[in-house]
């Protein structure tokens, strides 16, 4: 499974990229607003740090305006993925941009039917929001499994990009369900490496090593 980081914080992105764990980045208007920086500058900086896809979201709501914004965003760098909402206008924009060779991430997906439409419109990625479904008492992971089954049934090439990830268990469950990508907040990515038995074992090894009085160098 590919790991994307869900942030517009260039320092976090650079730090995670150095680990070799990062395959791409997703942003949205809310994340960009937190930085206080010009949108296009942020996208350009991220694209310079990460070789993989970088999702940059349109803010228009009408198809023609989305297409215009998408074409503009695609000029920033070759790895820009234009993010559009899962509306009829968004699907129309997705179709046009995809046919022009631009990667498109269709976002705000909350049902398997929506995901089916996005695939038929030629989306590069579909972004179902797990956490937001969980918030209203539904099962976000069930949606991941449904989309995986539908895409596999018909051989759709659209990649399943699990979004709105809130916990480390979300990441594990997405991997088990067969999500192609998980876009994860930096905090959750860092939590994935943590386990109390790892810490306990390392402390014991270091204590024993210190008793030897030796140095590797």
C-alpha distances in Å from residue 102, one per residue of 96, 106, 125: 9, 12, 12
Is there a domain that residue 74 lies in?
yes
pLDDT of residue 82: 98
C-alpha distances in Å from residue 216, one per residue of 39, 152, 203, 212: 48, 51, 17, 11
Q: Give residue-wise pLDDT tens across range 40-93.
A: 999 999 999 999 999 999 999 999 999 999 999 999 999 999 999 999 999 999
Burial class (CB in 10 A: 0-12, 13-18, 19+), 72: middle
pLDDT of residue 84: 98
Is there a domain that residue 216 lies in?
no
Is there a domain that residue 197 lies in?
no
> 129: closest CA among 160, 158, 159, 164?
164
How many domains are there within the chain? 1
Is there a domain that residue 200 lies in?
no
pLDDT of residue 194: 94
Q: Give residue-wise pLDDT tens across range 3-25.
A: 999 999 999 999 999 999 999 99
Q: Give residue-wise pLDDT tens across range 107-137.
A: 999 999 999 999 999 999 999 999 999 999 9
DSSP letter at 129 equals: B
pLDDT of residue 5: 98
- The pair of structure tokens assigned to 153 is 């049934």
Q: Of 83, 120, 172, 187, which is the active-site residue?
A: 83
Is there a domain that residue 168 lies in?
yes
Is there a domain that residue 10 lies in?
yes
Residues in the chain: 217
pLDDT level of residue 210 (50, 70, 90 thresholds): very high
Is there a domain that residue 214 lies in?
no
pLDDT of residue 144: 98
Q: Which domain holds residue 105?
A: 2-192
pLDDT level of residue 171 (50, 70, 90 thresholds): very high
- The pair of structure tokens assigned to 188 is 């959750």
pLDDT of residue 191: 96
List the CATH number of the domain containing 17.
3.20.20.70
Is there a domain that residue 57 lies in?
yes
pLDDT of residue 41: 95
> 171: closest CA among 153, 189, 154?
189
Known active-site residue 83: yes
């Amino acid at each position: 499974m590919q790991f994307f980081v869900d942030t517009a914080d260039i320092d976090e992105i650079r730090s995670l990229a150095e680990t070799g764990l990062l395959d791409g980045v997703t942003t949205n208007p809310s994340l960009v607003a937190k930085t206080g920086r010009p949108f296009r500058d942020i996208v350009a900086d991220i694209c310079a740090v990460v070789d993989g896809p970088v999702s940059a979201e349109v803010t228009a709501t009408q198809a023609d305006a989305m297409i215009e914004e998408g074409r503009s965003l695609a000029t920033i760098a070759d790895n820009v993925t234009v993010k559009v909402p899962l509306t009829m206008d968004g699907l129309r924009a997705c179709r046009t941009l995809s046919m022009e060779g631009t990667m498109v991430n269709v976002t705000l997906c909350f049902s398997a039917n929506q995901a089916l439409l996005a695939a038929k419109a030629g989306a590069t990625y579909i972004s179902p929001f797990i956490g937001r479904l969980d918030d209203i008492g539904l099962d976000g992971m069930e949606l991941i499994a449904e989309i995986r089954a539908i895409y596999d049934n018909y051989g759709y090439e659209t990649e399943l990009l699990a979004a709105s990830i809130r916990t480390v268990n979300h990441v594990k469950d997405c991997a088990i369900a067969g999500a192609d990508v998980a876009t994860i907040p930096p905090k959750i990515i860092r939590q994935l490496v943590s386990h109390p038995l790892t810490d306990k074992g390392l402390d014991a090894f270091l204590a024993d090593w210190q008793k030897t009085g030796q140095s590797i160098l």
